[in-house]
Chains A and B, each alone.
Chain A
Amino acid sequence: MSNENQEVIINPRQSGYDPTRALTEPPMVRFILIALSLLFLGLFLFVPLAVVFATALEKGIQAYGEAVLERDALSAIRLTLLTTFISVVLNTLFGVASAWAITRFQFPGKNILITLIDLPFTVSPVVSGLVFVLLFGLQGYFGHWLADHNLKVIFATPGIVLATVFITFPFISRELIPLMQEQGPEEEEAGMVLGASGWQIFWKVTLPNIKWGLLYGIILCNARAMGEFGAVSVVSGHIRGLTNTMPLHVEILYNEYNFTAAFAVASLLAFLALLTLVAKAFIETHAQDEKIALPPAHEQSRTP
């Protein structure tokens, strides 16, 4: 997407306008927008989070550590990480494949396909747990077959993974579709003309272009998979130390009136989700280093 020669053709001074000023809003507007955004985030995001962290640290760091390193908490952390890992990997593969099929080709029923991908969002978490019970529960459609073969799906890890995959199903796909739509297929087609193979185009052209969207998708999917409560609660069976994920462990602690420990584990979940953002920041700095190393100096004018 580089059309640098445009600048050479049109002399900016002809318009009698200072281009750097017209490329951003007046300082006053910028200030108001930032203030409004922070106010909104403050009210809806920071203050509720502050409640969580304040409660978590009420009894000091030591109580926090004890809550997080307790045996049942560790097994919940392990189960949550495993579930999240599987969900993110599966949904990343699906997200990339579906976005490619949807944005690079024309076919009838495309809108229906996109809407079907959205469906898991609209399904109440309660119901998304229920559907797997209807399928794999003892009274469910496949229940007897599973019982005869001594296979456990619900009230065991596979059920928890399935419910989580279902809940986070659309994230990466929906993050990539508008982005790839916006970018259009021209660059890939250029690669095609130059004789590159499909995989080469994907790795060399598509992936670098969509990396931000993919990353945001993974971050969202990861966060949501870790925090899912409703659906997992239906299929987990709530067995301490065996089928409790972190959110379920939080609920147990809360119901034991152990508010400090409950919020400590909840805040740990928040930290785990933040780790993906550290990864993002890391990649971002690297990407910026590359940019600066490359010629175009006018890039900086975008953000004064």
Chain B
Amino acid sequence: MKKYTWLLSLLLLFTPLSFSLAETGKVTLLNVSYDPTRELYQDFDAAFAKYWKAKTGQDVEINLSNGGSGKQARAIIDGLEADVATLGLAYDIDVIAERAKLLPEDWQKRLPDHSTPYTSTIVFLVHKGNPKGIKDWGDLVKPGVSVITPNPKTSGGARWNFLAAWGYALQKYKSEEKAREFVTSLYKNVPVLDSGARGSTTTFVQRGVGDVLIAWENEAFLAVNELGKDQFEIVDPSVSILAEPPVALVDKVAAKHGTTEVAQAYLQYLYSAEGQDIIAKNYYRPHSKSATAKYAKRFSKIKLFTIDKVFGGWKKAQQAFFADNGVFDQIYLPGK
């Protein structure tokens, strides 16, 4: 058929491109990450490549894969050959260790600060001037306030949102029962459960649905900067959760690729002065004292609680809240 002639010629046109990529003396890393880190790692990868070249003389190319945190963990379990995994929550890496045995189960102890070189928290994004007067979690359950947050069943970020709200209610009312009531009435105010965090941001920012978006702090900053400084503003709640997205070397894959050394250096470089600087520039909260001091203005001081303290770790939280027939499902049971 005629149409294939052009298809073929197009293919031929592109083939040289594919061969030019296969150079020798170059090491390639695959970083499998979750959705909101793409801007961070684009900056960081360039910096690391420069650093590695200067240190060892070797060229390093870092391929980046982004997707929902759970989906990415499944892909690694099913054979996506990630040298390093940088996901949204520790549970997802735990599962890789548990199910595919690609790294030891105590992986979180191998790097400083629970293997989390950067942290974030959950904040609110509201329309400019805050027309509904939203100041804290308590304002989200008021009648007539429309809240946008993604679906915790499909989005890792949404689980942080849920737990932050729960943690607030638990501190305020000191009772599981009350916390459940609070979260139930909060989700009654949610008109749309997008499947991912960025979907929710678009629903709120582009579609104009809702009065308040619950989001990662770094995502909220990014949304304000990219999509409209004069239209939105960030509101910090009185208390929130410390979101700890961890990083880990995937031992067996790296060993197979012979990239263990460079992959380890890659992760350690996240803790270096330059790494921490890039992290803060991309609106993640850095760990190092110097970077924290340098960017102190950017990150307001919110009282933060950790998932380990309030919920006893991700495994427990996942089972109790987000598994089938868990607390989240019960909110939506018919008749409630």
Q: How far is the CA of A17 from the CA of B214 in the complex (A)?
A: 73
Task: Report how many residues on chain B are interfacial, defined by Cβ distance under 8 Å.
Answer: 38
Q: Which residue of A lies closest to B30 (CB)?
A: A239
Instruction: Tell me, yes or no, whether B226 is within 8 Å of chain A by CB.
Output: yes
Could you tell me if A239 and B63 are in contact, using CB atoms closer than 8 angstroms? yes
Most chain B CB within 10 A, of A238, A242, A252, A276, is at A238
B47 at the interface (CB under 8 A from A): no
Interface residue? B19 (CB, 8 A): no
Which residues of chain A have C-beta atoms less than 8 A from B310's C-beta?
A: none
- B223 interfacial contact with A, CB 8 Å: yes
A147 contacts B1, C-beta separation under 8 Å: no
CB of A93, distance to nearest CB on chain B (Å): 13
CB of B157 to closest CB in A, whole Å: 12
Chain B 40-79 interface 0/1 with A at a Cβ cutoff of 8 Å (1 = within)? 0000000000000000000000011111000000010111
Main secondary structure, interface of B, reads helix
Once bound together, how far apart are the Cα atoms of A84 and B14, in whole Å?
15
Q: Which residues of B contact A242 (CB under 8 A)?
A: 63
Whether A240 touches B65, Cβ cut-off 8 Å, given contacts A133-B78, A154-B78, A155-B80, is yes
- Report, as a range, how many residues of chain A touch the other chain: 35 or more
Contact B7 A252 (CB under 8 A): no
Query: B-facing mask of A241-269, CB < 8 A → 1, else 0?
Result: 11000000000101111010000000000
Instruction: Tell whether A78 pairs with B223 under 8 Å between CB atoms, given A85-B7, A138-B79, A279-B2.
Output: no
Interface string of A133-150 (1 = CB under 8 A from B): 100111110010001000
Checking A155, A240, A259 against B75 with a beta-carbon cut-off of 8 angstroms, the contacting residue is A155
For the complex, give the distance between the alpha carbons of A164 and B308 in Å: 43
Q: CA–CA, A254 to B227, complex, Å?
A: 12
- A139, A239, A275: the one contacting B64 at CB < 8 Å is A239
A98 within 8 A of B: no
**Which of B11, B196, B222 lies in contact with A82, CB distance below 8 A?**
B11
Indicate if A81 sits at the interface (CB-CB under 8 A): yes
A238 touches B67 (CB 8 A): yes
Q: By the criterion CB–CB under 8 Å, are A275 and B3 in contact?
A: yes
A67 interface hit (Cβ, 8 Å): no
Contacts of A255 in B (CB 8 A): 35, 38, 66, 196, 198
Chain B residues with CB below 8 A from A241, complex form: 63
Checking B18, B38, B78, B227 against A137 with a beta-carbon cut-off of 8 angstroms, the contacting residue is: B78
Contact A139:B78 (CB < 8 A) given known A239-B63, A240-B64, A275-B6? yes
The reply to whether the CB of B39 lies closer than 8 angstroms to some CB of chain A is: yes
Q: Judging by beta carbons under 8 Å apart, are A78 and B18 in contact?
A: yes
For window 73-101 of A, CB contacts with B under 8 Å fall at 74-75, 77-78, 81-82, 84-85
Which of B10, B18, B79, B198 touches A81 (beta carbons < 8 Å)?
Answer: B10
Which residues on the A side are within 8 Å of B30 (C-beta)?
239
A48 at the interface (CB under 8 A from B): no
Q: Tell me if A223 counts as interface (CB < 8 A to partner B).
A: no
> Which B residue sits closest to A150, measured CB to CB?
B256
Contacts of B3 in A (CB 8 A): 275-276, 279
Task: Count A/B pairs, Cβ under 8 Å.
Answer: 88
Query: Smallest Cβ distance from A35 to chain B, in angstroms?
Result: 32
A238 to B31, CA, bound (A): 11
CA distance A82 to B239 in the complex (A): 52
Q: How far is the CB of A136 from chain B (nearest CB, A)?
A: 8
Which residues of chain B (80-100) have a CB below 8 Å from chain A? 80-81, 99-100
B293 within 8 A of A: no
Q: How far is the CB of B181 from chain A (nearest CB, A)?
A: 35
A147 partner, pick from B6, B75, B79, B202, beta carbons under 8 A: B79
CB proximity to B under 8 Å, residues A154-205: 154-155
Answer yes or no: A282 CB below 8 A from chain B CBs: yes
Is B77's CB under 8 angstroms from A138's CB?
Answer: yes
Are A85 and B227 in contact, CB atoms less than 8 angstroms apart? no
Q: What CA separation (Å) do A51 and B216 show in the bound complex?
A: 29
Contact A78 B17 (CB under 8 A): yes
B38, B64, B78, B222: residue with the most chain A Cβ atoms closer than 10 Å? B78
- Which residue of B7, B8, B100 contacts A138 across the interface (Cβ within 8 Å)? B100
List A contacts of B32 (CB < 8 A). Answer: 237
How many angstroms between the C-alpha atoms of A82 and B15 in the bound complex? 11
A117 CB, nearest partner CB in chain B, Å: 23
Do A256 and B10 have beta carbons less than 8 Å apart? no
A-B contact pairs, 26 of them (CB 8 A): A75-B17, A78-B17, A81-B10, A85-B7, A133-B78, A137-B78, A139-B79, A143-B78, A143-B79, A147-B79, A154-B78, A155-B81, A237-B65, A238-B65, A239-B64, A252-B66, A254-B198, A255-B66, A256-B38, A256-B39, A257-B198, A275-B3, A275-B6, A279-B1, A279-B2, A283-B2
Give the A-binding residues of B (Cβ under 8 A). 1-4, 6-8, 10-11, 14, 17-18, 30, 32, 35, 38-39, 63-67, 75, 77-81, 99-100, 196, 198, 202, 206, 222-223, 226-227
Given contact pairs A154-B78, A257-B222, enumerate 8 new A-B contacts (beta carbons under 8 Å).
A143-B79, A154-B79, A237-B80, A239-B30, A240-B65, A241-B63, A275-B3, A279-B3
Shortest beta-carbon contacts, A-B, top 10? A137-B78, A138-B79, A78-B14, A279-B3, A238-B65, A155-B80, A237-B80, A257-B226, A255-B198, A239-B65
